[in-house]
Every structure is written in C-alpha cells, then in structure tokens.
Copies of this chain bind each other. A is one copy, B any other.
Amino acid sequence: MPSTDASVEQRLRTAALELFAEQGYDATTVEAIAARAGVGRTTFFRTFDSKEAAVFPDHELVLEDVAARLRAAGPGGSRAAVVEAAMLVLSHYLADGEVARTRYRLTRTIPALRQREIAGLHRYQRLFGDFLNGPGADLVGAAPDADARQLRAEVAAAAIVTTHNHVLRRWLRHDLDDPSPVLERALDDVVDAIAVRPAEQRAAVLVVRSRADLDAALPEIRRVLGDP
C-alpha cells in the first residue's frame, strides 16, 4: 500500500484531476484513477458515487453549514442571514481555490460534469427558497396569499444564487481579486431590489413647508395617505 500519508479520498481526488488534465475526462477510466491513487477500483466506488463525484466538493457539508446559518436567524434577521449564508458558500469555494479553478475548467468543457454542477447549484436554490418561504423569514414581505409568497421566495432564492454564482465565476476567471466584498455589495443591491417589494413596504414622504403649522396639516395628510 503506497503513500498512506494523505487520506484515500484526497489521493483519489488529486489522481482524478491529474488524469483528467493529462488525458481528458472520457479517456480516463476509473481503474486508472484508482491505480494512480494506489487503491483498488472497488475502493473508488466505495468513496465516490460515480466517476464525476471525484471532481466535486462534498455539497452535503456546505449545505448543512448554510442551513445552520439560516436556522440561526432571529426575527428581522432574515436579510443578514441570507447574505451571510451566501457568503459562506463563497468562502467554501475560496477555501481551496486552486481546486475550484481546476474544476471550473473541467465543468466548462465536459457536458456530464457541467450537468452535475448545475444540478448541484439547484440544491442551494432550493435551500434558500425553503428558508425564505418558511415562517421564520420576513424578507419577502407580506404577500396576498401563500402561493404568491412562495413564488416570491423562489424568485428571491434564484436571484441570490445567481448573484453568488456571478461573482464566483468572475473570481474563477481572475476577473476579481477579492470577491467577498463584491459579493456583499451585490447581494445588498439585489436584495434591495428583489426581495422587498418597494411599492408595498416603502412610503415616500415629501415635506413641503408652508405657513400653516403641522397640527393643522396633519388631518389632511392622514386623508391623503388613506390612514385606516
């Protein structure tokens, strides 16, 4: 048994990435990956569900982290929770950035990997959507009915995940040195525009000074705003 210094999983991961880079994805057999890692083919499939899985991070782990951060949100804390949860995902990618970039190169090229990548992203969207539609979240505001609320939650989740992916992709392409503050700003903007429905939650108050004093004007203001 050669080189037990790294874990079997790690050895398999690096062997897979190396061979995919050298020979291409299709031309690389699972047997070859296992051989380079110094283990049997059986061990490969005991470690990973499929050949593709050797390329991707353990989404379960990240998803659990994100779910925990969302669960920790108190009343009124939905916005912060969502933003921080998205940045948590980013930080997981940045944690081993070289691997992330290698994976990006592969997923752009190989359809099978691309498909799995997209499906993976969708799980985050589901998670965010379920949270935003849940009773603990107040980001999407009051909706006329339960279905409208769910739609808004799904749209907001899609917007958040899309924003995250956009910023991440820029970093993967070396368009960006420090993506975290960029993501934070972008999420702030997006959440402003999307999650909260401006027409419902904001009221613009325009003050016009006149000779009449406030008390005299108040009843009229009340009438105009349709005070219930």
Q: A residues touching B (Cβ–Cβ < 8 Å)?
A: 114-116, 118-119, 122, 147, 150-151, 154-155, 157-159, 161-163, 166, 170, 175, 186, 190, 193-194, 197-198, 204, 206, 208
For A118, the chain B residues whose CB sits under 8 A away are 118-119, 122
A197 and B193 in contact (CB under 8 A), knowing A158-B162, A163-B155, A170-B147? yes
A151 and B122 in contact (CB under 8 A), knowing A193-B193, A208-B208? no
For A162, the chain B residues whose CB sits under 8 A away are 154-155, 157-158
Q: Can you list 12 pairs linking A and B with CB atoms under 8 Å apart?
A: A114-B119, A115-B115, A118-B122, A147-B175, A151-B186, A155-B158, A155-B163, A155-B194, A157-B162, A158-B161, A193-B193, A204-B204
A146 CB, min distance to chain B CBs, angstroms: 11
Closest Cβ neighbor of A114 among chain B residues: B119
Besides the known contacts A154-B163, A155-B159, A158-B161, 10 further A-B residue pairs in the complex with CB atoms under 8 A apart: A118-B122, A151-B163, A154-B166, A155-B158, A155-B166, A155-B190, A158-B162, A159-B194, A193-B194, A206-B206
A210 CB, min distance to chain B CBs, angstroms: 9
Closest Cβ neighbor of A194 among chain B residues: B194
